[in-house]
Amino acid sequence: MVRVTVWGENVHERTEEHVRAIYPDGMHAAIAAGLDEVLGGAVQVRTATLQEPEHGLTATVLDDTDVLTWWGHAAHDEVDDVVVERVQDAVLGGMGLLVLHSGHYAKIFRRLLGTSCSLRWRNEGERELVWTVDPAHPIAAGVPHPIVIEAQEMYGEHFDIPAPDELVFVSSFSGGEVFRGGCCFHRGRGRIFYFSPGDQDYPVYHHPAVRRVLANAVLWAAPGAGGHGGAADSPNAPRGWFEA
């Protein structure tokens, strides 16, 4: 049973009618529903939002979370640095993290990657095609090639990220741009997956193939047994300290 916390900024949904029309209970609710739909009893999903105390991400919640998903856009700056640091520590300790769409500019993503995470964009409802470039990757399992998303915001290169540890998907847009929109990173003991499809203006989180990708990514990012050797705080190691 993978314990998932779906975090939503929850601003557009409350302030813009056309977004509410697509996501009446918020984007986080749609994302959570998608995980439930695809994974059923294999996951236990809860949601948390910016507006809750500590943004709903207390130490207790994080301790109880295997994989956290993150959607933000309008209010990145309102996320408390204390919470960001807490999430970073959790990821380095092994919690999985899915960063979605405009979350590329979230404090947590920039802090984990170290780069500006900037990109090019255009919001004209273009068709996005999401191509699998690593067909044996578990996140690509059962995903159409390509995923066809009729209307999306364009995200284009250059995307200022470190070279991904695994590149799974590359998108093209009607206007001709390309984007490395499905990227895996390993940081500390944690697995991070960035997935670009998913703007508030389009019903992308109702798209079955997008739901499938997110479900696959949750399973991929969930912490496994792992091995010895991690050291949180640079211990002095006398000769023969060897761990059994």
Q: Is 60 among the residues that bind a copy of itself (CB under 8 A)?
A: no
Q: Give the range of 9-17, 30-38, 58-66, 175-183 binding a copy of itself by CB under 8 A.
A: 175-183
Residue 153 in contact with a copy of itself, rule: CB under 8 A: no
- Enter the DSSP assignment of 189: T
CA distance 210 to 131: 12
- For a copy of itself, the closer CB: 17 or 239: 239
Cα 193 to Cα 171: distance, rounded to the nearest angstrom? 15
**Does residue 14 belong to the site contacting a copy of itself (CB under 8 A)?**
no
Give the count of residues interacting with a copy of itself (CB under 8 A).
82
CA atoms within 13 A on the CB side of 92: 14
At 238, phi and psi to the nearest 5? -65, 155
CB nearer to a copy of itself: pick between 47 and 65: 65
Q: What value, to the nearest 5°, has the Cα angle with vertex 52 and ends 46 and 56?
A: 45
Residue 152 binds a copy of itself, judged by CB under 8 A: no
Class of residue 231 by CB neighbours under 10 A (exposed 0-12, middle 13-18, buried 19+): exposed
Measured from the CB of residue 2, what is the shortest distance to a copy of itself in angstroms? 16
Name which of 46 and 189 has its Cβ closer to a copy of itself.
189
Residue 77 engages a copy of itself in binding (rule: CB under 8 A): no
Residue 158 within binding range of a copy of itself, rule CB under 8 A: yes
